Amino acid sequence: MNYEITQRFFFDAAHTLKRKIEAEGSRRIHGHTYHCEVALAGTPDAQTGMVSDLGFLRAHLDAVRDQLDHRYLDEVAGLGAPTLENLCTYVWRAVEPAFANVSRVRVWREGMGDGCTLSRS
């Protein structure tokens, strides 16, 4: 059997975005509360009964959150344009060196009703 375990965090951040629609408001500095969920997939270890220890994942995600929380996303090195797609990629790349079994990263803005999911094919 294959299992998927998840851990969530949130962060508040500001950004600007160049767009063709809703352009005026997007160009001005504005902020959102972002939510992120990271999933790890695999078979539980016979001795621990865990796919991965969520405590290790939480500790790692605390460091990722610190890189994004209360930041101006336009200035976060390695992010690129502060889109939901790029945030998914940024989190994935930050987590994957420590957790090769990352299967999915989802970033969404509850207040806006939009989100993005990046998953392993």
Look at residues 51, 30, 38 and name the one whose alpha carbon lies nearest to residue 7: 38
What is the DSSP secondary structure assignment for residue 98, as one 8-state letter? Answer: T
Domains of the chain, CATH where assigned? 3-119 (3.30.479.10)
Residue 22 has pLDDT above 90, yes or no: no
- Using one digit for the tens of pLDDT, what is the confidence trace for 48-96? 999 999 999 999 999 999 999 999 999 999 999 999 999 999 999 999 9
Burial class of residue 92 in the structure, from the number of CB atoms within 10 Å of its CB (0-12 exposed, 13-18 middle, 19+ buried): middle
Share the mean pLDDT of the chain: 94
28 pLDDT band (50/70/90 cuts)? confident
Lowest mean pLDDT among 12-21, 37-46, 56-65, 78-87: 12-21
**How confident is the model at residue 89, as a pLDDT?**
98
pTM over cut 0.95: no
**How confident is the model at residue 27, as a pLDDT?**
77
**How confident is the model at residue 48, as a pLDDT?**
96
Residue 18 has pLDDT above 70, yes or no: yes
SS3 string, 17-73, reads CCCCCCHHHHHCCEEEEEEEEEEEEECCCCCCCCCCCHHHHHHHHHHHHHHHCCEEH
